[in-house]
Chain A
Amino acid sequence: MSIEIRNVKKVFPIKNSTIEVLKNVDLKISDGEILSIVGGSGCGKSTLLRIISGLDNATDGEVIIDGKKVDGSSKKDIGVVFQEPRLFPWSTVEKNIEFGITDKLTKEEKKERVKYYIDLVGLTGFEKALPHQLSGGMQQRVNIARSLINEPKALLLDEPFGALDAFTKINLQNEVLKIWEQKKTTLIIVTHDIDEAIYMGNRVVVMSSKPGVVKKEIPVELPRKRNRTGTDFAYIRRKIYKEFFEETEV
C-alpha cells in the first residue's frame, strides 16, 4: 500500500490561542516500504500517525492512500499499534486478538486465524491468559497480533516498543521485521529511539519540533539483517545525531 501525505498541517486550539503541531508535511511511502520517523517529544510525529489512520483530521492538506483521498468514514486497510498495549483487561489473549477481526468470518475461520497469529507472535500456550498475567512485552505482542489479524496492507506503529526493556525491545523489533518479510506490509514506525529508526527503516525521516516539520530524509541502504554495532550503522547514526544536536552543540 502506498501512502502519500500532501502538505498536511495540524493546528490545535489552546486556551485563547492556537498551536501549530504540524506544518507542511510532505511524505511519500511506497508499497512494502518501512519508514521510520524520529523526533523529540512534541514534534507532532504521533499526531501525524493519527491523521494517517483517520483518528484525527488534518487542519489542512490531505492523505492519499493507494490513489484515494482518506476521509474519516472510508474503511481503511490500515492497522495501528499504539505505544500502550490497550488490551481489554477482562478478555483473554484469544478474545483480545479476535476483537481485531473486521471481516465477516465464520466461527471456525475466526478461530483458525486467531490461532495463526498467536503462533506468529509467539504466544502459543497463553491463549487463555488475561492481560494482567502477562509481561509488558507479551502484552505488546498481543497488541501487534490484534492489528495484524486483519492482514492490513499498512501498519502504523506509534512508539511501539517505547515502554519495554532493551532486550525485549530488540526481540520484538526482529519479530516485526520477520513478519514484514513474510507479508511485505507497508510499515510506518514513529519512535524517539534513533537506533531503532535505523535498524527498522528503509528510510529515516527526521522531524523537528514547534512546529513539526520534516527536517531531513535519510535513506538507510544497509542489507538486512543489520548490525547495530557496525561502522555503516554508526555512520548513519552520526548523521542523524547531527540533525538533532547541531544547534545546541551538545
Chain B
Amino acid sequence: MNTDFGLNKHLKSFLYAIWIPAILVILWTIGSNTRVLNNSIFPTPQKLFGAWYEMIISGKYLTHVISSFSRVIKGFFVGSILGITLGTIIGLFSSAKKSTVALIGMLRPIPAIALIPLFILSLGIGETSKVAVIVLGSFWPILINTIAGLSTTDSKLLEVGTIFDKSKRQVLFNIIFPSAAPYIFTGLRLGVSSSWTCVVAAEMIAASSGIGYLISYGREMAQPATLFIGVFSMGLYGLLIELLVINLQKKAIYWIPNSK
C-alpha cells in the first residue's frame, strides 16, 4: 500500500519532469524532417542518434567522456581542497578576512574562462592549463561558501560550548564545522557544476579530446551531429552529476529535514 503510493509519486514527478523535453523532441523531429529547421545546423534525431551510436561502438565516445571526467575530477579535487582550507582560515580569523576581502572582491568577478589564454601562455597547451581552469572555477564558490559557513555560527550554540568549558578545538569540531557543513556542501555543489562548465570551455579552446573538443570539432568540420553529441552530453552528464551531488548532500546533511 505504502510502497505503491511511493512508486506512484515517483512516476508522477518523473512525468512532470519529462513532458516539456518530450514535446521539444517531437517538435525537433517534425521540424528537422520537414526541413523547417535548417539541416546543416539541426540534424534530424535519426542522424544524431545514429552518429552517436557509431561513436559509442567505435570506442571514441568513451575516450572523450573519460578525458573530460578525469580533468574535472583532478581540478575539482584540488579546487575544493584549496577552497575549504583557505575558506576555513579566512572564516575563522577576522584578521585574515579583513586582509583578503578586497582581494577576493576584485578577483572573484573574473570568470575562470577569461583566464584560459593566460593559463595556456604560462602553463603550456597540455593538461595542466586545462586542469588549472577547473581548479579556479571550482575554487571560488567553495571558498565563498566555506567562509560564509564558518563565520556565521549561531552564537547561541557557541555559548553552549562556553557553558560546558569546551576547548577551542572541541568547539571547532563539534559546533563550528557541523554548522558550516550545509554551506560547504552548497559550495561543493556549485563548484562541481562550475567545473563542468569550465572543462568544456577549456576543451573548446585547446584540446584534442573531450566533450568540449567534440563541439569545436563538429563546428570546424561542419558536422552538426558531432556538435550536438557534445552539447547533449554536456547537459546529460551535468544533470547526472547534479543528481549525484544532491543525493550525497542528503546523506551528509542528514539533520536538515526535507533538504533538497
Q: Which residues of A contact B (CB under 8 A)?
A: 53, 55, 75-76, 79-80, 82, 84, 86, 88-90, 99-102, 130-132, 150
A55 to B159, CA, bound (A): 8
Contacts of A99 in B (CB 8 A): 160, 164, 166, 174
- Which of A76, A82, A90, A131 is close to B156, meaning CB atoms less than 8 Å apart? A82
A79 to B160, CA, bound (A): 10
Contact indicator B255/A90 (Cβ below 8 Å): yes
Contacts of B162 in A (CB 8 A): 55
Contact indicator A132/B165 (Cβ below 8 Å): no
Q: Classify the secondary structure of A's interface with B.
A: loop
B117: Cβ under 8 A from any A Cβ: no
Contact indicator B156/A84 (Cβ below 8 Å): yes
User: Given the interface contacts A89-B256, A132-B255, does A75 sit within 8 Å of B165 by beta carbon?
Assistant: yes
A101 to B181, CA, bound (A): 24
User: Given the interface contacts A88-B175, A90-B178, does A132 sit within 8 Å of B257 by beta carbon?
Assistant: yes
A89 to B162, CA, bound (A): 18
Contacts of B102 in A (CB 8 A): none
Known: A90-B254, A101-B164. 4 other contacts (CB 8 A): A90-B181, A102-B164, A131-B255, A132-B257
A216 to B156, CA, bound (A): 31
Contacts of A75 in B (CB 8 A): 165
- How many residues on B have C-beta within 8 angstroms of the other chain's C-beta atoms? 17
User: Given the interface contacts A99-B174, A130-B255, does A86 sit within 8 Å of B159 by beta carbon?
Assistant: yes
Contacts of B255 in A (CB 8 A): 89-90, 130-132
Contact indicator A86/B164 (Cβ below 8 Å): no
Number of A-B contacts (CB under 8 A): 41
Contact indicator A86/B157 (Cβ below 8 Å): yes
Subset of 22 A-B contacts with CB under 8 Å: A53-B163, A55-B159, A55-B162, A75-B165, A76-B165, A79-B163, A80-B163, A82-B156, A82-B159, A84-B156, A86-B159, A86-B160, A88-B174, A88-B175, A89-B255, A90-B178, A90-B181, A100-B164, A101-B164, A102-B164, A131-B255, A132-B257
Contacts of B257 in A (CB 8 A): 132
A53 to B162, CA, bound (A): 10
Question: Chain A: which residue is nearest B177 at the CB level?
Answer: A90
Question: Chain B: which residue is nearest A149 at the CB level?
Answer: B164
Contacts of B181 in A (CB 8 A): 90
A99 to B162, CA, bound (A): 12
A84 to B162, CA, bound (A): 16
